[in-house]
A and B are shown apart, each in its own frame.
Chain A
């Protein structure tokens, strides 16, 4: 069981936890001497303060609310973004946009650190209105798929200062107190760099011969067609790679064959433009919501969107051989719900 927070321990003392959590905390206290000591030595109950709300900063509150309630625009230089992937989230300053890859400098609002690998931006340097530590020594390239919310922008002067400091030869003065913060940031950035959407079926070793698998499973195309409720000709088309299964069909077939849905709808390299489009931050909130409803990960949801858009493209473009308008198709997919 995870270590309880201070509030949970106090709620335990005051018997204000629900039954399940109380039992978990009690079990934890049986095995954790440090927590047991805290609980045993805790002060008596403190008075409940009168609520005060004055002094609450309005500018950052409004900026945060806007960031989390409206779809973000394009990732642009000088933007202050929240990047998130697989349980990791930090803020970054965009210093260069190279399409799918974006150069960033991590930023922290707390704690503030001032040494030769960081630069402190004042509250007037950003539209967020709070001081920011820009970790200029930790510049990294992150995939656009990690970009989640546009929090604010930093002023051109501040951006120039950040870039100027970054190009300076590395200094040696590092704040010892910030060593763990720096290390945690480096590790988080490493995780965020993994936030790339794998083209369906393009992972080495994953493509499968669908016809062979169906044959090995003792299924005939007509049986499969009956299971999916489609004409047998559609199955034949899929096996001849003239069309792809829809996401729902791929899920059913994958279950029948003991495969991943991505393997069932395996396809040759997917157009880079489509991959880039589904990774754009403006779709992220919608995909997150769809992923939540379908109980799958954001990455899986994006893969499903790629497959669905490919099916749409195959149906709507006919003999047209030009590149489809991926942005339009993704928009249509999202609007379809």
Chain B
């Protein structure tokens, strides 16, 4: 059920009257997605939720959000969906600025780039390790982390705070914890151990209990992607040929960029022509969805998985095709 009359209130300039409806939507996302309560609280209180709504409405970008809602929505039902997206973006942005979430993202990036480690979805493992994911007591991992010396924060000034330690120390602790876990540890677990080892404090809550472990449930995506978005995106994806799939992430740019940054064997003009034919087809499929941006984000994810599958299956074939070879560059459609 849409939030009755929200769009009407916004377009009538009665933004104060819209507040209870906005509060309902924000509280719903907080509750459904178990957003951690603020600093010093074990659970959300009425004042905390009121503060959160106030920040959504009256923060630096708050009036812009409501304006965007009033402008982009085409009906009350559509308005509810756009608001849903705005609220999740707002909470995701808030979470991204949390030091512990930053640490988790840094761990993922550092471990992914470290030759001795690899990030396999939500698991960090020693390179080429086939070990089962560690399921034992976290105390073992925490002990391994405590035994590893770490450097103090590299810099800090009055307004900004640097990372909790330098890259070398971070890698050393990650390696020690993964080794203590038998070669494969969940990223969430690793991040949680690091939070304690590096004494990283949340901007929302000082108490480091299990309920507020850093999680990627809401922070890792550039746009909220729903199950429906994936269904629509998958239907579109199935109808694309290999060249179009290669170009799908460039619909927002141009043929020149696509040729420079993708693996397409097309020339600049051909890529541009394919993009110009692709855009209306994509829009035809995306238009009418409550969240076109979500569908686009889902398409981008499908593209990333497809590229990863192509890279794992036969990276040599891709190179040879760029040089004019006849072998298929990408996995067969069934693999998508």
Chain A residues in the interface with B (C-beta under 8 A): 2-3, 5-11, 17-18, 21, 32, 34-35, 38-39, 41-57, 59-62, 64-66, 68-69, 82, 84, 86-91, 108-112, 128-132, 149, 151, 174, 176-188, 190-191
Asked if A9 meets B32 with Cβ closer than 8 Å, knowing A52-B50, A180-B293, A187-B251, the reply is yes
Q: Which residue of B lies closest to A53 (CB)?
A: B16
CB distance from A23 to the nearest CB of B (A): 13
For window 56-81 of B, CB contacts with A under 8 Å fall at: 57-58, 60-68, 70-74, 78, 80-81
5 CB < 8 A contacts A-B: A2-B290, A46-B49, A47-B44, A87-B288, A109-B71
Q: Which residue of B lies closest to A44 (CB)?
A: B31
- A177 to B297, alpha carbons, bound, how many Å? 10
- A311 to B148, alpha carbons, bound, how many Å? 88
Q: Which residue of A lies closest to B75 (CB)?
A: A87
Stretch of B133-141, B161-169, B276-284 that contacts chain A:
B276-284
- A47 to B78, alpha carbons, bound, how many Å? 27
Contact A47 B45 (CB under 8 A): yes
Residue B234 CB within 8 A of the other chain: no
Binary contact readout B290-330 vs A (1 if CB under 8 angstroms, 0 otherwise):
10110011001000000000000000000000000000000
- A41 to B33, alpha carbons, bound, how many Å? 8
Asked if A5 meets B80 with Cβ closer than 8 Å, knowing A65-B13, A188-B283, the reply is yes
Contact A112 B61 (CB under 8 A): yes
- A45 to B93, alpha carbons, bound, how many Å? 24
Asked if A7 meets B25 with Cβ closer than 8 Å, knowing A56-B16, A187-B251, the reply is yes
Asked if A57 meets B15 with Cβ closer than 8 Å, knowing A90-B71, A185-B252, the reply is yes
- A50 to B27, alpha carbons, bound, how many Å? 13
- A18 to B226, alpha carbons, bound, how many Å? 23
Contact B251 A56 (CB under 8 A): no
Contact B65 A183 (CB under 8 A): no
- A11 to B3, alpha carbons, bound, how many Å? 11
Contact A131 B64 (CB under 8 A): yes
Asked if A179 meets B228 with Cβ closer than 8 Å, knowing A11-B1, A47-B44, the reply is no
Residues of A close to B222: CB separation below 8 A: 176-180
Residue B111 CB within 8 A of the other chain: no
- A10 to B93, alpha carbons, bound, how many Å? 22
Asked if A46 meets B292 with Cβ closer than 8 Å, knowing A2-B228, A7-B80, A187-B283, the reply is no
Contact B279 A186 (CB under 8 A): yes
CB distance from A226 to the nearest CB of B (A): 43
Contact B283 A52 (CB under 8 A): no
Contact A61 B15 (CB under 8 A): yes
Contact B227 A38 (CB under 8 A): no
- A145 to B304, alpha carbons, bound, how many Å? 38
- A132 to B67, alpha carbons, bound, how many Å? 10
Residue B147 CB within 8 A of the other chain: no
